[in-house]
Chains A and B, each alone.
Chain A
Amino acid sequence: MELDTALLSRLQFAFTVSFHIIFPSITIGLATLIAIWEGLWLKTHDPRYLQLAKFWIKPFAITFGMGVVSGIVLSYEFGTNFSKFSDIVGPVLGPLMAYEVLTAFFLEAGFLGVMLFGWQRVGRKLHFFATVTVAVGTWISAFWIIVANSWMQTPQGYTIVDGQFHVASWFEVIFNPSMPYRLSHMLLASLITATFVVAGVCAYYLLKKQHVAFAKKGLSMTMWIALILTPLQAYIGDHHGLNVKQYQPTKLAAMEGIWPAEEERVPLLLFAMPNMETESNDFELGIPSLGSLILTHSFDGAVQGLKAVPPEDRPNVPLVFWSFRVMVGLGFGMIALAFIALWLRKRSTLFENKPFLAALALFTPSGVISVLAGWYVVEVGRQPWLVYNLVRTSDVVSPLPAERVLFTLIGFVVIYTLLLGVYLYFMRKLIKKGPPSMAHLEQQLIGMKAPGYALAWVKNLKHEEGEK
């Protein structure tokens, strides 16, 4: 078989970026939760909040580390594998990414050391400030990278000079039409991802009857958060979809499996096997007109289909179609769990209902999987373009010998598989070990010169723990 550099480079980028996004989608939300817990502890001195912050900071640290090492790869991979792309869009994307480093990466790295290791070396408020700064850093980082990605989806504010993109208006580049939707969708997704990771672990503890008081606090809190954020996410997702329909109709057609060049009364497909050869769906099962209602907010609204563009301008339809369904399906699952939690809470059985707790434990990685699926919709749906309708992916790949790319691709697959295994192993180990004991927190508080009543509260809980 003839090796194809372009295909290998794309596979490698897809693989490395997929691996990377797992970690920031957890850390953006988790940093925020840890900052909230630490803040609540400072305000109330309830030791449970400190326990939550102190426990989750460890999974946060290893997740963050994984994000850092896999992220460095990406900042170099544009140049190594897509050299022509780097050259022609460098004037647009380069400064955006430089701003990400200047305003986010340094900030996170600069305060992470204090956040992780500085509990005893700086004051409590300064430590809280460091934690908040790291959380804010993750948000800023998300902002810039979403700006860069959104510009590739909905480019504007540029002129083309000798084949290179020059910026005519930075305001237009940054506030391009899809950016606000993608940014809010992704930030919410990260918060929800972390929320379900925390909730899943708490549910696991409750099922095992371990660290019960700690798990109750965490579960109760995360289920309130989920109740607010998951419906909000569905609302924002809907608007994001309308934005895609307006600016990237071909991607939307792939998401919904719509083939005719223009179709009215579009059904909502529950199941289908999009077939790119026959340009139609096999085994289609749908609800008539519901697609039109969702997409155009009217029962007979018309939607542009895949056949409106030639076959070479269409993305891989089944991949986009099914990724979209995985994302939406898990999303509805999370909404359902949040509302069931509310109902159980009213009946005061939130912490005892075994099927619910088991479902929640099973949903621990649901956020991560949805985020991945969602990004497949975004990125595969943009193909065959790198910059939508302007730069074709196949035209801008580095002319590398294919066997070198194959060699590095295999290297990445081997190393990342190993790392993922190690990551999961250590996450499991941390979860098995459980939160720090009250006795341990007492020692820490003495080192932190915490006020007397905070210490007394911890001692109280320590005795309760001891009696059990």
Chain B
Amino acid sequence: MTGGPHMADPIFIAVAVLTVGTAILALEARELIYGAIALAISMLGIAGFFLLLDAPFVAMFQIAVYVGAVAVLIIFTVMLVRTQALFTTKEDKKRKGAGIALMLIIMASLGALLLASGLNGQFGNFDNAQTVDFKQIGHLMLTYYAPALIILGLTLAGSVIAALALARREDVEQQHERTD
């Protein structure tokens, strides 16, 4: 199939609608907690795309990190901050209209650019391409990208320590020390 309009896979369309729909819901849901759950479902949809792209390893990683860690972290924070502050949605109607217009302009222009880019049909329907084995990914990570992997580990450790240091309450701790 080269160029021109084509029928996409029905599973693909279902996952696409789910992912984009829940992404919009994540931003527009009235309660932040429902938004967080919608975001988790949107990330599951992205993992579904990774499965469709024959990248099961990345899909599992996505589920483990995003749905398992990030979404739970966000839900915890939403519950910690849960007060009236979350329910006041102070939004300009004008600003919202401008935002929707900007969104549509970006969608239309980038979409037109993509359709005109010659990418359409260039890779066919992935028939010529071989799927990537996860052993290849592991090999790359431990050989060529080994320094990047080490730096990534250090970055993760640093950011976790930084997050702990940020969220610590020094005033409370000092009071406890004084009373002791």
Co-complex (A, B): no
Which residues of B come within 8 Å of A, CB atoms? none
Binding site for B on A (CB under 8 A): none
